[in-house]
Amino acid sequence: MAVISDPSTLALIFGALMLAGLVKGTIGFGLPLVAVSISTLFLSKDWALAIMVLPIALSNLVLGFEGRRFIPSLRRFWPVVLALCTGLIVGAQLLSAMPQHVFLLVLGAVVILFALAEQLRFVLPVPASHERAVGVAAGITGGLLGSISTAYGPPVIMYLAALRLDKAEFVAAIGAILSVASIALIVAFSQAGILVGERFAWSLAACLPVGIGLLLGKRLRGRIAPEPFRRVVTIALFVLGFNLIRRGIA
């Protein structure tokens, strides 16, 4: 459970990572949730999470520096960034002491909540007077949830969607916030003893199957109807989430 040595397990993990990348490349979400949810079938929590850190960081850093509004976005949303990074650091320390069965229960709940939010797609408007306070709350929530699943983006993305930004501002803000948070995730997991030694090397190696999946997903994007595929992924996340909870209770 702790070390990846069996060839069949290695092949399954490679497939899970490539599948997660394909999902992300096709519909734009699901990379950490799909990968971590499947990887926990074969790996301990520390291994399942550590493997995803560098692929997620790399994809977010590429997104962050693609736009031309990186610095302006950070100036506007620095409270969100600070809250998100704080949540990741605190959450990583809590995670290191969390028993495996509790981790499975919490991860299962996170996956189900994300799938539900994706299915309902509700967006609550945020008044300008409450923008900073709601942003801090979204950042803290994203950081704490992200330390459990490495999926720290959804609460922040929901917050940014509620601000009704134009497309360019929205993409720039997501890229800036998540790229800085990626660095914080690496630091947080390293300090907590999760992303160290052999796990760091495996996380670096995991960039290959995830990258292949992302490229395949981008090619697939223009050839399939995105909404049916999105629904299939959402249903799969519900199944994975309930299975994680079942394993946590068992």
Among candidate residues 17, 13, 45, the one with its CA nearest the CA of residue 32: 17
Query: Per-residue pLDDT for 124 more than 80?
Result: no
Q: For the chain, what are the domain ranges?
A: 7-249
Helix axes 45-64, 7-27, angle to 10 degrees: 30
pLDDT at 54: 94
Q: What is the pLDDT of residues 202-240, one digit of tens each?
A: 999 999 999 999 889 888 877 887 788 888 888 888 999
DSSP for 32-57?
A: HHHHHHHHTTTS-HHHHHHHHHHHHH
Q: What is the pLDDT of residues 37-96, one digit of tens each?
A: 888 888 888 999 999 999 988 888 777 776 667 888 889 999 999 999 999 999 999 988
pLDDT at 66: 63
| Contact of 50 with 95, CB cutoff 8 Å | no
**Amino acid, res. 183:** I
Query: Per-residue pLDDT for 170 more than 90?
Result: no
Q: For the chain, give the mean pLDDT.
A: 87
Q: How many CA atoms lie within 13 A of 41 on its CB side?
A: 13
Query: Per-residue pLDDT for 137 more than 90?
Result: yes
Compute CA distances 213 → 35, 146, 169, 203, 238, whole Å: 11, 22, 27, 16, 22
